[in-house]
Structure 1
């Protein structure tokens, strides 16, 4: 594309986003077409990615695409594994989104769609995305080390220890909140629990497929995984309607919380290509 056509394209995106935002701001009442929300959000994210994201990447962090990442330098087949960029994006997207698709609609219902939407868009573009991007960048430059270990190297053992305790406490609170949301959503719900449970064997199959059966064939495994996921969602209703299977996949909140913690531990010690990365990638189709 020529420079003029590129400017016209981005001017169109900005104008379209402004029109949609203006309509939302002037619309009275809660009844409004979701298409305006979607278009406005997409325009904001496109502009933020193209201009602000590019500024942070090349002017602030000075990224170098020729520099090898820890996945290549420290490749151990477990925690450091070269991964297709689409799968890697899905892996990080699902981890960052977390319970957002569940919590977001609830907050929108409580506070109204516009304040919640502005918080997500402005907070995501100017704060959340930049924070995660910078932390990932620093970790990548430090051989994939954690934030606490980096602080220890830069500011001493005592400060690093305090930072690691603080980070652990924050993560504990975040995980507890997310677990509470997920447990409440899946407790006493055989359909939902069956669908989520089936993502585990599907993800394991996808991991083995991409690593041993057809390496690099991300498109193929994406189609297979998506079809299997749709089947899992469909047969979830069959499971819920069957008295025997519904009883098996109906768990109370305390039991479900224990199961989730056990899964988290097991997934953390397995090779990342085996379960975590493919399952997060698969989860992007749900989110």
Structure 2
């Protein structure tokens, strides 16, 4: 990938990297793992990795960033399968999720482990720090799923701790591979979490009308509270993005966010 790579071109490159990883899933008869990842055409998190990296990198790190982008998209698939499974097994309210729990569990486990394999293939000298960032996301996801399973949890907190955590990890991994400093990583973490939560809120609120990539909408939610939460996270993320203007080329990232959060 180069600084002039378009969103469509980058999406295609990420898709091809994912196809290579998911061929192994087909070999193990884990069609659900492949279909879950394939269902997302936006590659939101993979794009976030790449654009965060490009904002501060001295030069492109095409192969490493493709591997990192694929890794985060695989973790996204894991998150979706676990969320579906929790709704199916633990939510007494009406829902339409009726898949085979054992199959979902195995497919999710595969995607989780495949994410680490994909990132390990990055071959970047910041790889260890990037892996630590991915581990941190995995731990947050496990905690979020655990809390949701044992007791009812506010949907806003669950979004922050799942899709928000993946977005934070995506931005941090991108800047880590680029060699970003602590202050930059903190601001990218804030914008990654905030914009990703906002994006998911938009998708939930528009899930009946947008016809876009699949999303998991809770059986019941407070629309006004969810909308307010998305707006609050958007403001926080925008302030972080603005702080980076002097030390990073964030305009391509800003354009990407504007296109998806109108």
Question: What TM-score, normalized by structure 1, do the two folds share?
Answer: 0.24
From the CA coordinates, give the structure whose radius of gyration is larger.
1
Question: What TM-score, normalized by structure 2, do the two folds share?
Answer: 0.26
Q: Hey, which of these two has a bigger chunk of helix by percent? A: 1
